[in-house]
Protein backbone atom coordinates (compact mmCIF):
# COMPACT_ATOMS: atom_id res chain seq x y z
CA UNK A 1 0.00 0.00 0.00
CA UNK A 2 2.78 2.38 0.92
CA UNK A 3 4.41 1.59 -2.39
CA UNK A 4 1.43 2.76 -4.42
CA UNK A 5 2.07 5.37 -7.10
CA UNK A 6 -1.47 6.64 -6.72
CA UNK A 7 -4.10 5.93 -4.10
CA UNK A 8 -7.66 7.07 -4.53
CA UNK A 9 -9.84 6.72 -1.46
CA UNK A 10 -13.60 7.02 -1.24
CA UNK A 11 -13.93 9.46 -4.11
CA UNK A 12 -17.37 10.97 -4.60
CA UNK A 13 -18.42 13.30 -7.40
CA UNK A 14 -21.73 14.79 -8.45
CA UNK A 15 -23.03 16.51 -11.53
CA UNK A 16 -23.94 20.12 -10.80
CA UNK A 17 -26.48 20.04 -13.57
CA UNK A 18 -28.90 17.47 -12.12
CA UNK A 19 -27.28 16.69 -8.78
CA UNK A 20 -26.82 13.06 -9.76
CA UNK A 21 -23.88 11.15 -8.32
CA UNK A 22 -21.20 10.31 -10.88
CA UNK A 23 -18.71 8.63 -8.55
CA UNK A 24 -19.88 6.81 -5.43
CA UNK A 25 -17.08 6.10 -3.02
CA UNK A 26 -14.50 4.85 -5.50
CA UNK A 27 -11.25 3.58 -4.04
CA UNK A 28 -8.40 2.25 -6.10
CA UNK A 29 -4.64 2.11 -6.10
CA UNK A 30 -2.10 2.01 -8.85
CA UNK A 31 1.04 0.24 -7.68
CA UNK A 32 4.44 1.40 -8.76
CA UNK A 33 5.25 0.18 -12.26
CA UNK A 34 1.95 -1.55 -12.88
CA UNK A 35 -0.72 -0.95 -15.49
CA UNK A 36 -4.09 -0.66 -13.83
CA UNK A 37 -7.10 -1.03 -16.09
CA UNK A 38 -10.17 1.03 -15.35
CA UNK A 39 -13.12 -0.49 -17.18
CA UNK A 40 -16.78 0.30 -17.43
CA UNK A 41 -19.53 1.11 -19.85
CA UNK A 42 -20.35 4.67 -20.93
CA UNK A 43 -21.29 6.75 -17.92
CA UNK A 44 -19.69 4.39 -15.43
CA UNK A 45 -17.39 7.21 -14.34
CA UNK A 46 -14.09 5.84 -15.60
CA UNK A 47 -13.10 9.00 -17.49
CA UNK A 48 -14.25 11.15 -14.57
CA UNK A 49 -11.69 9.45 -12.34
CA UNK A 50 -8.92 10.13 -14.85
CA UNK A 51 -9.97 13.76 -15.13
CA UNK A 52 -10.26 14.18 -11.37
CA UNK A 53 -6.66 13.02 -10.98
CA UNK A 54 -5.46 15.52 -13.59
CA UNK A 55 -7.64 18.36 -12.30
CA UNK A 56 -9.38 18.78 -15.64
CA UNK A 57 -12.94 17.93 -14.69
CA UNK A 58 -15.61 19.68 -16.73
CA UNK A 59 -17.26 22.61 -14.99
CA UNK A 60 -20.46 20.72 -14.37
CA UNK A 61 -18.75 17.98 -12.33
CA UNK A 62 -17.76 18.55 -8.71
CA UNK A 63 -15.81 16.28 -6.38
CA UNK A 64 -17.64 16.25 -3.05
CA UNK A 65 -15.37 14.10 -0.90
CA UNK A 66 -12.51 11.64 -0.97
CA UNK A 67 -8.82 11.93 -1.60
CA UNK A 68 -6.37 11.37 -4.42
CA UNK A 69 -3.00 10.63 -2.86
CA UNK A 70 0.04 11.13 -5.06
CA UNK A 71 3.59 11.46 -3.72
CA UNK A 72 2.24 11.96 -0.23
CA UNK A 73 -0.01 14.82 -1.28
CA UNK A 74 -3.75 14.89 -1.62
CA UNK A 75 -4.10 16.35 -5.10
CA UNK A 76 -7.58 17.59 -4.31
CA UNK A 77 -6.43 19.69 -1.36
CA UNK A 78 -2.86 20.63 -2.29
CA UNK A 79 -2.15 24.33 -2.79
CA UNK A 80 -2.65 25.40 -6.41
CA UNK A 81 1.03 25.95 -7.26
CA UNK A 82 2.13 22.61 -5.83
CA UNK A 83 -0.75 20.85 -7.53
CA UNK A 84 0.07 22.45 -10.86
CA UNK A 85 3.66 21.28 -10.52
CA UNK A 86 2.81 17.74 -9.35
CA UNK A 87 0.27 17.17 -12.07
CA UNK A 88 2.12 19.02 -14.82
CA UNK A 89 5.49 17.46 -14.16
CA UNK A 90 4.89 14.10 -12.50
CA UNK A 91 1.63 12.95 -14.09
CA UNK A 92 1.06 12.78 -17.83
CA UNK A 93 -1.96 12.22 -20.00
CA UNK A 94 -2.30 10.16 -23.15
CA UNK A 95 -5.56 11.54 -24.53
CA UNK A 96 -8.32 9.71 -26.28
CA UNK A 97 -8.48 11.28 -29.70
CA UNK A 98 -5.16 11.90 -31.42
CA UNK A 99 -7.00 14.00 -34.01
CA UNK A 100 -7.94 16.75 -31.59
CA UNK A 101 -5.34 16.26 -28.87
CA UNK A 102 -2.69 18.09 -30.87
CA UNK A 103 -3.16 21.77 -31.61
CA UNK A 104 -3.79 21.94 -35.38
CA UNK A 105 -2.04 25.30 -35.61
CA UNK A 106 1.29 24.41 -34.04
CA UNK A 107 4.19 22.33 -35.28
CA UNK A 108 4.96 19.04 -33.53
CA UNK A 109 8.27 20.34 -32.21
CA UNK A 110 6.64 23.01 -30.08
CA UNK A 111 3.98 20.69 -28.76
CA UNK A 112 6.39 17.90 -27.96
CA UNK A 113 8.77 20.19 -26.08
CA UNK A 114 6.13 22.23 -24.19
CA UNK A 115 6.58 20.24 -20.99
CA UNK A 116 10.38 20.16 -21.17
CA UNK A 117 10.57 23.89 -21.63
CA UNK A 118 7.97 24.67 -18.96
CA UNK A 119 9.21 22.36 -16.20
CA UNK A 120 12.85 21.67 -17.09
CA UNK A 121 13.71 25.11 -18.40
CA UNK A 122 15.53 23.57 -21.35
CA UNK A 123 16.82 25.76 -24.13
CA UNK A 124 15.21 25.35 -27.53
CA UNK A 125 18.22 23.36 -28.76
CA UNK A 126 18.34 20.99 -25.80
CA UNK A 127 14.57 20.46 -25.95
CA UNK A 128 14.87 19.66 -29.63
CA UNK A 129 17.55 17.04 -28.93
CA UNK A 130 15.32 15.48 -26.27
CA UNK A 131 12.35 15.53 -28.65
CA UNK A 132 14.33 13.74 -31.37
CA UNK A 133 15.36 11.08 -28.89
CA UNK A 134 11.75 10.62 -27.76
CA UNK A 135 10.46 10.29 -31.32
CA UNK A 136 13.15 7.72 -31.96
CA UNK A 137 12.01 5.82 -28.90
CA UNK A 138 8.40 5.65 -30.11
CA UNK A 139 9.71 4.27 -33.41
CA UNK A 140 8.98 7.19 -35.63
CA UNK A 141 11.04 7.19 -38.77
CA UNK A 142 12.48 10.50 -39.94
CA UNK A 143 11.93 12.35 -36.65
CA UNK A 144 13.43 15.53 -38.11
CA UNK A 145 10.61 15.77 -40.61
CA UNK A 146 7.96 14.95 -38.01
CA UNK A 147 9.22 17.75 -35.74
CA UNK A 148 8.70 20.22 -38.58
CA UNK A 149 5.26 18.87 -39.43
CA UNK A 150 1.84 20.10 -38.45
CA UNK A 151 -0.54 17.51 -36.94
CA UNK A 152 -2.71 17.22 -40.05
CA UNK A 153 0.33 16.09 -42.03
CA UNK A 154 0.62 12.96 -39.87
CA UNK A 155 -1.52 9.82 -39.76
CA UNK A 156 -3.61 8.93 -36.72
CA UNK A 157 -1.14 6.29 -35.57
CA UNK A 158 1.77 8.73 -35.94
CA UNK A 159 -0.04 11.35 -33.91
CA UNK A 160 -0.75 8.87 -31.15
CA UNK A 161 2.95 8.00 -31.14
CA UNK A 162 3.79 11.67 -30.83
CA UNK A 163 1.35 11.97 -27.91
CA UNK A 164 2.92 8.96 -26.23
CA UNK A 165 6.35 10.51 -26.71
CA UNK A 166 5.07 13.74 -25.19
CA UNK A 167 3.60 11.84 -22.23
CA UNK A 168 6.96 10.23 -21.44
CA UNK A 169 8.97 13.42 -22.06
CA UNK A 170 9.19 14.42 -18.40
CA UNK A 171 9.69 10.85 -17.08
CA UNK A 172 6.43 11.03 -15.16
CA UNK A 173 5.64 8.73 -12.29
CA UNK A 174 2.09 8.13 -13.46
CA UNK A 175 0.43 8.21 -16.86
CA UNK A 176 -3.32 8.44 -17.26
CA UNK A 177 -4.20 6.86 -20.58
CA UNK A 178 -7.75 7.88 -21.44
CA UNK A 179 -8.94 5.35 -24.03
CA UNK A 180 -5.84 5.98 -26.13
CA UNK A 181 -6.70 3.40 -28.75
CA UNK A 182 -10.43 3.94 -29.17
CA UNK A 183 -10.09 6.32 -32.10
CA UNK A 184 -7.62 4.13 -33.97
CA UNK A 185 -8.25 1.21 -36.27
CA UNK A 186 -7.53 -2.25 -34.98
CA UNK A 187 -4.13 -2.89 -36.55
CA UNK A 188 -2.76 0.44 -35.38
CA UNK A 189 -4.37 -0.17 -32.00
CA UNK A 190 -2.29 -3.29 -31.51
CA UNK A 191 0.95 -1.46 -32.32
CA UNK A 192 0.10 1.40 -30.00
CA UNK A 193 -0.71 -0.95 -27.13
CA UNK A 194 2.60 -2.72 -27.61
CA UNK A 195 4.38 0.60 -27.69
CA UNK A 196 2.77 1.82 -24.47
CA UNK A 197 3.62 -1.49 -22.83
CA UNK A 198 7.24 -1.29 -23.96
CA UNK A 199 7.69 2.34 -22.98
CA UNK A 200 6.07 1.72 -19.62
CA UNK A 201 8.37 -1.13 -18.67
CA UNK A 202 11.44 0.68 -20.00
CA UNK A 203 10.68 3.75 -17.90
CA UNK A 204 9.13 1.97 -14.90
CA UNK A 205 6.07 4.20 -15.14
CA UNK A 206 2.72 3.40 -13.56
CA UNK A 207 -0.22 3.59 -15.93
CA UNK A 208 -3.90 4.06 -15.23
CA UNK A 209 -5.48 2.71 -18.39
CA UNK A 210 -9.06 3.86 -18.92
CA UNK A 211 -10.97 1.83 -21.48
CA UNK A 212 -14.25 0.12 -22.24
CA UNK A 213 -12.59 -2.64 -24.22
CA UNK A 214 -11.96 -5.87 -22.33
CA UNK A 215 -9.83 -7.11 -25.21
CA UNK A 216 -7.47 -4.19 -24.68
CA UNK A 217 -7.45 -4.86 -20.94
CA UNK A 218 -6.42 -8.45 -21.54
CA UNK A 219 -3.46 -7.28 -23.60
CA UNK A 220 -2.05 -4.55 -21.44
CA UNK A 221 -3.30 -4.46 -17.85
CA UNK A 222 -1.80 -6.14 -14.79
CA UNK A 223 -4.84 -5.49 -12.66
CA UNK A 224 -8.33 -4.28 -13.44
CA UNK A 225 -11.00 -2.26 -11.70
CA UNK A 226 -14.49 -2.69 -13.11
CA UNK A 227 -16.92 0.17 -12.60
CA UNK A 228 -20.66 0.38 -12.90
CA UNK A 229 -22.71 3.48 -12.14
CA UNK A 230 -19.80 5.26 -10.47
CA UNK A 231 -19.04 2.35 -8.20
CA UNK A 232 -16.39 -0.38 -8.12
CA UNK A 233 -18.04 -3.68 -9.00
CA UNK A 234 -15.02 -5.93 -8.99
CA UNK A 235 -11.28 -5.67 -9.04
CA UNK A 236 -8.38 -8.00 -9.21
CA UNK A 237 -5.58 -9.37 -11.34
CA UNK A 238 -6.49 -9.27 -15.01
CA UNK A 239 -6.22 -13.01 -15.58
CA UNK A 240 -8.34 -13.80 -12.51
CA UNK A 241 -11.01 -11.30 -13.37
CA UNK A 242 -11.29 -12.39 -16.97
CA UNK A 243 -11.13 -16.12 -16.31
CA UNK A 244 -12.93 -16.44 -13.01
CA UNK A 245 -15.17 -13.43 -12.56
CA UNK A 246 -16.89 -13.36 -9.16
CA UNK A 247 -19.55 -10.77 -9.76
CA UNK A 248 -22.51 -11.68 -11.99
CA UNK A 249 -22.17 -8.35 -13.83
CA UNK A 250 -18.57 -9.12 -14.74
CA UNK A 251 -19.60 -12.54 -15.94
CA UNK A 252 -22.42 -11.11 -18.04
CA UNK A 253 -20.11 -8.44 -19.43
CA UNK A 254 -17.58 -11.04 -20.52
CA UNK A 255 -20.29 -13.10 -22.14
CA UNK A 256 -21.50 -10.03 -24.00
CA UNK A 257 -18.14 -9.68 -25.77
CA UNK A 258 -18.04 -10.96 -29.35
CA UNK A 259 -15.53 -13.79 -29.65
CA UNK A 260 -13.54 -14.51 -32.74
CA UNK A 261 -13.40 -18.21 -31.92
CA UNK A 262 -17.21 -18.40 -31.94
CA UNK A 263 -18.13 -16.04 -34.77
CA UNK A 264 -21.69 -17.30 -35.18
CA UNK A 265 -22.67 -17.25 -31.54
CA UNK A 266 -24.34 -13.86 -31.83
CA UNK A 267 -24.23 -11.14 -29.20
CA UNK A 268 -25.65 -11.69 -25.77
CA UNK A 269 -26.87 -8.54 -24.03
CA UNK A 270 -26.32 -8.16 -20.31
CA UNK A 271 -29.46 -9.52 -18.60
CA UNK A 272 -31.75 -6.77 -17.40
CA UNK A 273 -32.03 -8.44 -14.05
CA UNK A 274 -28.33 -7.98 -13.30
CA UNK A 275 -28.51 -4.29 -14.20
CA UNK A 276 -31.61 -3.89 -12.04
CA UNK A 277 -29.92 -5.59 -9.08
CA UNK A 278 -26.86 -3.31 -9.46
CA UNK A 279 -29.02 -0.22 -9.64
CA UNK A 280 -30.92 -1.27 -6.55
CA UNK A 281 -27.63 -1.89 -4.72
CA UNK A 282 -26.37 1.54 -5.69
CA UNK A 283 -29.57 3.25 -4.70
CA UNK A 284 -29.50 1.62 -1.27
Minimum separation from the CB atom of position 163 to other proteins (A): 8
88 is an interface residue for other proteins by CB under 8 A = yes
124 is an interface residue for other proteins by CB under 8 A = no
Minimum separation from the CB atom of position 22 to other proteins (A): 18
119 is an interface residue for other proteins by CB under 8 A = yes
99 is an interface residue for other proteins by CB under 8 A = yes
**Cβ closest to other proteins, residue 17 vs residue 152:** 152
95 is an interface residue for other proteins by CB under 8 A = yes
106 is an interface residue for other proteins by CB under 8 A = yes
**Cβ closest to other proteins, residue 100 vs residue 277:** 100
SS (H, E, C) the chain: CCCEEEEEEEEEEEECCCCCEEEEEEEEEEECCCEEEEECCCCCCHHHHHHHHHCCCCCCEEEEEEEEEECCEECCCCCHHHHHHHHHHHEEEECCCCCCCCCCCCCHHHHHHHHHHHHCCCCHHHHHHHHHHHHHHCCCCCHHHHHHCCHHHCCHHHHHHHHHHHHHCCCCCEEEEECCCCCCCHHHHHHHHHHHHHHHHHHCCEEEEEECCHHHHHHHCCEEEEEECCEEEEEEEHHHHHHCCCCHHHHHHHHHCCCCCCCCCCCCCCCHHHHHHHHHHHHC
Residues binding other proteins: number (CB under 8 A): 33
Contact letters for other proteins, residues 52-71 (x by CB under 8 A): --xxx--x------------
104 is an interface residue for other proteins by CB under 8 A = yes
Binding site for other proteins (CB under 8 A): 54-56, 59, 84-85, 87-89, 91-93, 95-97, 99-106, 111, 114-115, 118-119, 150-152, 155-156
Amino acid sequence: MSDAALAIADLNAVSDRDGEAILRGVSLTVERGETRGLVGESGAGKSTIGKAILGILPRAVRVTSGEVLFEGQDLLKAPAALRRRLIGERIALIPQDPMTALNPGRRIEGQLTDGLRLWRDLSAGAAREAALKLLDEVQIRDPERVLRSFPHELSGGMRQRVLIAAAFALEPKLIVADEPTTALDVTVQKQILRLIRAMQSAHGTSVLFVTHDLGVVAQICDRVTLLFGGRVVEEGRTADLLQAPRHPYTRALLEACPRYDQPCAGLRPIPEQIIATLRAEIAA
